[in-house]
Amino acid sequence: MIQIQKFTVNPFQENTYILWDDNGEGVLIDPGCYTVEEEKEVLEFIKNNNIQINAILHTHSHLDHCFSSGYFASLFKVNIWIHKDDIITYNSFEKVCSMYGIPIRHSLPQSYKLYSLNDGFSFGNSHLEIRFVPGHAPGHVIFFAKEEQFVVNGDCLFYQSIGRTDLPGGNHATLLSSIRKELFTLPSSTVVYCGHGPETTIGSEVNTNPFLR
Ligand SMILES: [Zn+2]
């Protein structure tokens, strides 16, 4: 049984997630902590719950989702995992930070691992299905915990909204069709954990999301 904990961090109010199972093994998704205090809060939670972090997973590598990926990767001596179409975004992290005038506290490591959509991602006794959902970013993926019926969906679907598509590689029509194909086909009771803002469910967004009527 996978448990999930959310932390809202950095000036972009990004949601960082820890997923862990009964085995005590876990993953860190989109660690966007920007301050030492934010990093401490995540670390303390990991320590207090005796979680062994096995990997850092990116839904996509926009700067607000990976400010502390480099820090946690070296601290836990684990790899960062991305989709192959996300490499270009991953590699432009430092350039985009300086474009925004944001000092870089932790660079991203040069090396990373690439997801296999067929294999998904396993940790402890648990498994996450990985679905490819481009549109907000070209190499965006989501993580579906089938047994627990929740999805960590980054910046694709938000409560009553959808991700912006005006950033490099973004495409509005692609995002809408990806959401319909990969998210709206999940069970309607599935809880959707978003990269920003509150949780929602597939059923409620299918019925009421103004961008997808
Ligand atoms: Zn994003």
Of 171, 166, 179, nearest in space to 212 by CA: 179
- What's the CA-to-centroid distance between 22 and ligand 1, angstroms? 30
Measure the CA–CA gap between 150 and 186, rounded to whole angstroms.
9
Tokens describing residue 158: 């938000």
Cα 177 from Cα 14, distance rounded (Å) = 24
Q: How far is the CA of 211 from the centre of ligand 1 (A)?
A: 18
Tokens of 59: 């839904």
Rounded to the nearest angstrom, the distance between the alpha carbon of 207 and the centre of ligand 1 is: 24
127 φ/ψ angles, rounded to the nearest 5 degrees: -140, 140
Residue 170 CA from chain centroid, whole number: 17
pTM for the model stands at: 0.97
Q: Residue 68 Cα, ligand 1 centroid: separation in angstroms?
A: 15
Distance CA 14, CA 17 (A): 10
The encoded tokens of residue 66 equal 């990976």
DSSP code, position 143: E
Domains identified in the chain and CATH numbers: 3-208 (3.60.15.10)
27-71: pLDDT as tens digits: 999 999 999 999 999 999 999 999 999 999 999 999 999 999 999
**Is 111 strand, coil or helix?**
coil
Q: 């949780």: which residue's tokens?
A: 199
At 116-171, the pLDDT tens digits run 999 999 999 999 999 999 999 999 999 999 999 999 999 999 999 999 999 999 99
